[in-house]
Chains A and B, each alone.
Chain A
Amino acid sequence: MSPAPKPLEPLIMHPRPSSIVAAMYTLRDLDVDVVILHGPAGCSFKHARLLEEDGLRVVTTALDESGFVFGGHDELVNILKKVIEMFNPESIGIVGTCASMIIGEELHEAVLEVNPDVPVIEVEVHAGYRENTKGVIIALESALAAGILSEEEFERQKVLLNEATEVEKRHGAASKEYLEPSRGDTKYAVAKRIIQLLKEDKKCITILNAKKETGYMFADINAAVNQVAKDLGSDSVIVNMANLDDTLGLDRVRAHARNIARDLRGMGVEVHEIIGGLDEYPVTGETVSKLIAEKYPGFDFAVITGVPHAIPMDNLEGMEIFSVTNGPRQVLPLKEMGHDHVMVEIDLHPKTLGVSNIVESEFGATLRELAREEM
């Protein structure tokens, strides 16, 4: 018999993002018009609701006890027909759930029966995967099969997703068996410290390393640092890096990059270094490290927003590090990495759905208000 196969890592106890939800966000990024969740009515409710704010229609086949027992084929056929009739969509996603997948529903059978003349992306997903990026990969595979995603972009996304998973394992939510959620340091005290550094004309690097639409709020913090420095008449050198390359990724994600860059310009903030696209947050770390080593050594402090734990510590060592995340479970790992100040923008994501402009962040607002008081 073959040698004992290699065991996987131990289980993680804290609740984590769902692969079903991840699949739905992916369909939104692919500009799908309607998503049919094939499963119980309450499945993924909170995110379904948020996605509606972002322009994606979500409906459910509302499987109940008898659906679990007798299967939900007819329900799916009915909803599919209804969706076509009511919304006249240009593309449809059907997303599985634990319930429908466990009982062996074949999404494809319903599609064959209805035979719509628009592409249907069938995503056989449930919430029981170890990594929620699995939901994204399954959705992308189905999009590839449905012909609405190019092979090239698919391969690119797969690399990014694997990296994202690795980042989470190294310093993120998958780095420990249990992570206590935390609100992080108080914004008031940290804002005061940044203002002090600016007043002392300390050299500053701001890094926006945001995941897709969350950039609409994280960018406000990078902007606030620049604005406050100006208002205070600080002579600090500020270098801004941002993952706002608008030539990479899905159309929707490129549009976010364009919008954010446009608003930053409008706020008088110059981005000195583009470190990647808005979907490249897991792979920008090396670029940042290299830039600091080669072009910007000897800076005093850094403000990192978005996914700060994806930036390696190598060349940040020696700087005072301020980081802003939207994950309460990210505070501890960031502190352990050596970040001096870690703040959480609570409920950031919902506020960045359905927008196409930079939205004000709590930390940005705190900085600005404190600076006004100082003047």
Chain B
Amino acid sequence: MKQIAIYGKGGIGKSSTASNVAAACADEGYSVTIIGCDPKSDSSITLLGGHRIPTVMELMQQRVEITEKDVVFEGYKGVRCVEVGGPEPGIGCAGRGIIVAIKMLQKISTVMQDCDLIIYDVPGDIVCGGFAAPIRKGLVNDTYVLTSGEYMPLYAANNICKGFARLGNHLNGVICNSRNADNEEAIVSAFARELGSDLLAFIPKDPIVQTCERAGFSVIEKEPDSDIAKVYRKLARSIMERDSACDPKPLTDARLRELTG
């Protein structure tokens, strides 16, 4: 079983990449689970035809007895979707929400065990202990970093790699989600190499992603014949087949500036 998480700067495209990879793997016949660990609970909408599902935390807030069928929903080709949920921005403690919800899930459901691929979709920044809960509780064994070729996303990706080192996690690969920066593929490729890793995929910037998203679908479901769908498929395959991982060696800030300069 592959248990993965994709990290990267906020808004860089982790959730859309995660849902497209999930859909592509489901197409190949794998059983897939996606656990949305973002309080804004936007990880699974495009796998559920645009529908929102009740989140674990919102049910806990209502003090109701929760069973598997209340929080685990089947989406595109049987992908099982869970949203942890959490408070509105600026109140409460979203990190604690992730810890509580994951504990609850482990108790009431086997979605975190019985599948070929499980993706934990976490928000941009691992702002506190709670957001690292999937990793720290040993639920994630493969981690990927998603970045564009711009300085800030690379800076964030580099920082995350420092975090991996502290949490004792490996890096299984770098993914580029293009923002049409100059020389982008070469930059991210060099970044990956210098970390000690590889560039797994170069996902072009394509308005199709947002068109599908607005309609409530993944690209894989709605535009299966598009070029970008092929890229997601290839990425999905290499995630399922890869075994290699490295202890990333973060770059210096000066080197990052040089790369992007």
Q: Which residues of A contact B (CB under 8 A)?
A: 1-2, 4-8, 71, 101-106, 109
Contacts and interface: CB of A to CB of B under 8 A. Distances in A.
Contacts of A109: 136
Contacts of A102: 93, 95-96
Given A71-B129, A109-B136, A104 B95 contact: yes
A6 B96 contact: no
Nearest to A130: B63
A5 B129 contact: no
A170 to B, nearest CB: 20
A103 B67 contact: no
A5 B66 contact: yes
B132 interface: yes
B133 interface: yes
B208 interface: no
Interface of A is mostly: loop
Given A104-B99, A106-B136, A6 B65 contact: yes
A7 B132 CA distance: 31
Given A5-B70, A7-B63, A106 B137 contact: yes
A7 B59 CA distance: 10
Contact of B65 (A8, A103, A104, A106): A8
B186 to A, nearest CB: 38
Given A2-B69, A5-B70, A8-B64, A104 B133 contact: yes
Contacts, number: 44
A102 B63 CA distance: 19
19 contacts: A2-B67, A2-B69, A2-B70, A5-B65, A5-B66, A6-B65, A7-B63, A8-B63, A8-B64, A8-B65, A101-B99, A102-B95, A103-B96, A103-B130, A104-B96, A104-B128, A104-B130, A104-B136, A105-B129
B62 interface: yes
A68 to B, nearest CB: 10
Given A7-B63, A106-B137, 5 more contacts: A5-B65, A5-B66, A103-B128, A103-B129, A104-B133
B90 to A, nearest CB: 17
B59 A5 contact: yes
B62 A7 contact: yes
A109 B64 CA distance: 32
A105 B129 CA distance: 7
B67 A5 contact: yes
Nearest to A124: B103
B63 A104 contact: no
B64 A7 contact: yes
A6 B64 contact: yes
Contacts of B70: 2, 5
A4 B65 CA distance: 10
A106 B59 CA distance: 25
Contacts of B133: 104
Nearest to A98: B96
A278 B93 CA distance: 41
A11 B65 CA distance: 15
Closest 7 CB pairs of A and B: A104-B129, A5-B64, A104-B130, A102-B96, A2-B69, A8-B63, A106-B136
A62 B66 CA distance: 35
Contacts of A105: 129
A1 B53 CA distance: 9
Contacts of B130: 103-104
B85 to A, nearest CB: 15
B105 to A, nearest CB: 15
Nearest to B67: A5
A365 to B, nearest CB: 46
B34 to A, nearest CB: 19
Contacts of A6: 64-65
